[in-house]
Structure formats: C-alpha cells, structure tokens
Amino acid sequence: MHSRFAIYWRNQGMFLQHRLCFYSSNHPKQSPTYNEVNILMIDRNFQKVLFDCQKYDYQKASFEILQEFCRLGIDITSSRHYKNPLYFSIPDLSGSNVKEHLDSVAKELSHPYMKLLESFGSPPELPKIWESSSGWTKYRGDKTYSVEAPLEDALIFDTEVLVKEGHVPTMAVALTSDGWYSWTSKRLSVYDDNCLNDINAFNSLIPIYGSKNKDISKCVIGHFVSYDRARILEEYLLDVCTFT
C-alpha cells in the first residue's frame, strides 16, 4: 500500500511539473529569472497578471544568509539548468490582475445579498410582550402572527441554547424590515422523549424557510454565525442551496 501511494504521488509530481513548465503556442519564451537564493521564479508576464508588477533583478543574498543555508546543507550558489521559467495557462481575468479579478467575482457573488440588505431601514418598534408558544411568531405593531418562518428575505438572527440540556436551540429572535420574530422550542412547553437531545434532531432545529419559498435567496446576519447556523434546519437539507 505504501509503495502504491509513493508511485501515485511521484506521478502526480511529474504531472504538476509538466503543467507548470507548459508554454502555450502564443506565449513568448523568456530567459529564466532567479531570486536572491537562486530559486527559479514564475514567468514575468505571468507575474504581471498575478501581481500587477514585473521584477527581473534580485539582490544577491547576504553572507549571513549564505552561511545559514550552508549550515543546513543547501547549496544556493550552484547553477540551475531550467530551460524555461514556470508558466501555465489560466482563464481570462476580469480585470488587469488577480486582485481586480477577485474583487469583481466577489461583487458579482455578493450582489443579490447586498440588494437584500438595502431593504433594511429603521428597525420596527420592539414588542412589549413576547409570546411563549412554540415555533415562529411575528410581531408587527400590536399584532402577532404564527408563521412557518420569517417572511422577509433579509434578517438579523440570534439564537440561545440551554447547554445543560444539550446542543439544540432553546429560543431565537430575528429582526427584519417589516417586524420582529421570536422562535421558541416546543420543549419549553411540551416535553417530548422523541425530541432527541442532539444537534441532528430535525424537529429541534430552527427553520428559516417556509414550505413554499425555498427557491429564493436569503441573507441572514448574525453575531457568532458558525454557532448559530448549526442550529438552522436548512443547513442540513440538500435541496436548499440559496441560503447564506
């Protein structure tokens, strides 16, 4: 088994070396460039694409650096015999360099959620009385409504867990542009032995989507997000893919 893995990794290394040294027919060849410690650098045109700069000359390593490499048994003074600098083909960038490309991709991916955040205005008035019935309750003015899940697509969310009882959520609160919401676990009103004291017990998790609106994007803002999202039902469902 060990030798099979060794062969696999050696073959993968040869493949990567071949890919890194690949030149497209449209790419002009250039002399290799080495840094201060005689390490071959990437193609300078490729450097321009990645970092929006081109550097050809590097200062020689200091005597102290040479001594340290010598102590480690590394000879950085010997000549290298690479024919070409490292280069491989990459897709066209959206911008003049990698930073602009990543900024562009980030803006494209975050645009639907930024639009949702723009729907927030002044927060609605805080409810004077909170309901204790299980599930979601919406508060709008003096009226309350029992709902499957928050109706709006952008919300601020927080949950609380009674850790001595387990890791499932006990209660939660949410704020949207149209009202406040509270969620209460049914275990606060009805003790159910079948409601497992486990984070994977679906009946104890908090739904963010209703049964009829699972195909739309939602933006949920939290404080300790990695902790809170583990208590959300849709995090464990494969058919909901637009939740962030």
Order the strands of the 135-140 sheet from edge to edge: 143-147, 135-140, 179-184, 171-176, 154-160, 219-221
Q: Which of 75, 92, 158, 228 is catalytic?
A: 158
- Check if 228 is active-site: no
CB 42 within 8 A of CB 94: no
Structure tokens at 172: 């939660």
By C-alpha distance, which of 82, 83, 81, 88 is closest to 27?
Answer: 88
Q: Which residues are catalytic?
A: 158
